[in-house]
Amino acid sequence: MTEGAKSGVFFVGVLGLLVVGIFFYAVRDILPLFLIAAFLTYLLFPLVSFFQSFGFRRWVAATAAMFSLLVIIVAAITIFGPKLLQEIEHLAERIPTYYQHIKQLTVYLTKIKDIVPSLRDIEFGVLIKEETMPMISNALKMAPTYIREAFSILSMIILSPMIMFFMLLGGGKWIDIIVKISPANFIETVLSIVYEINSLLGNYLRAQLIEIAFIGISVTVVLGSLGLHFAAIIGICAGVLNFIPYLGSITGLTLACVFGIIQFNSPVIILKIVPAFLLIQFVDNHVVQPLVMSTNMNLSPTTIIFAVLAGGTAFGFVGMVFAVPAMAIAKLIFFVFVRHFKNSDIF
């Protein structure tokens, strides 16, 4: 192939990626709806195939799979809901107590000024008030945004099952469409990419769901054994946010330390909480992940952090959740095409 043809292929490839990126950014407001539906659809595909193996038609199998998912959700709410609601009510009741602790902290900091001369000119009460009031004011100003996001979440809850059902009915037709529109000399490469993406996503999602359960249950049990209040709330936060790399552990540890210091009125509890979280993280990294994840994302920590921050900036919370698999898929596609072109007549 001539140099001009090589440049043309490269230009078309870059232009295609740019167009796809601009398109996804333009529809970023509705993209979470389809990403959530696609995520649930991917999880239910094996179950649909299982029901079809008994001779059921596709729509019957899809309906049965969605009903099974509904049963699992209802069962989880029934089992864990009462305990979670109890802790939320307890937390609401103790808010005045936490306010008193903050006031006591202000008094304690004021006493420190007598010991440290350089702090005598600092009014901690005024400082805390100046820092707190703008936060409350901003939160109130953001109320319309919160309401709008609540309606957005409600629309996702309503529309996602509908989109998911149609995706389940479609089955693997999208693969046939990709194969039909692909050039003949690219079909093998395209099928290779589809197979590797399927393997990567299946492995990643399965591992993440198991890790969420492990982190959530472990944190709840460990903090409960330490006598910490709101162990279930902290465990759920740590488990669910574990979908975003590093965020689950950091959030869980921070909440546990804050609630622990306030509850026991002493920072000594941190000496028990931190080793507990380090132990959970060690077991997760060296036991759970190797068992449930047969292949790795092969992404460096720097790349993962960049992907999470970029996904959050462009697409919000959902972008942070799907940033790592999206980056891994992009890397996979890039290297598959590089390998294909190196073995072709272009190079």
Q: Select the highest-mean-pLDDT range: 14-28, 59-73, 104-118, 332-346.
A: 59-73
Report the pLDDT value the prediction gives residue 156, as an integer from 0 to 100.
67
- Give the mean model confidence (pLDDT) for residues 303-320: 79
Report the pLDDT value the prediction gives residue 131, as an integer from 0 to 100.
53
CA dihedral 33, 38, 44, 50 (to 10 degrees): 140
Q: What is the pTM of this model?
A: 0.67
Contact present, 164 and 70 (Cβ < 8 Å): no
H or E element in which residue 261 lies: helix 247-264
Contact present, 328 and 200 (Cβ < 8 Å): yes
pLDDT digits (tens, 9 = 90+) for 2-29: 555 555 555 666 676 677 778 777 777 7
pLDDT at 111 over 70: no
pLDDT at 232 over 80: yes
Largest CA distance in the chain: 82
pLDDT at 113 over 70: no
CA distance 193 to 336: 7
Q: Which of 6, 75, 68 is nearest to 40 (CA)?
A: 68
pLDDT digits (tens, 9 = 90+) for 333-343: 777 777 766 66
Is 314 buried (19+), middle (13-18) or exposed (0-12) by CB count in 10 A? middle
The SS3 call for residue 177 is helix
pLDDT at 102 over 60: yes
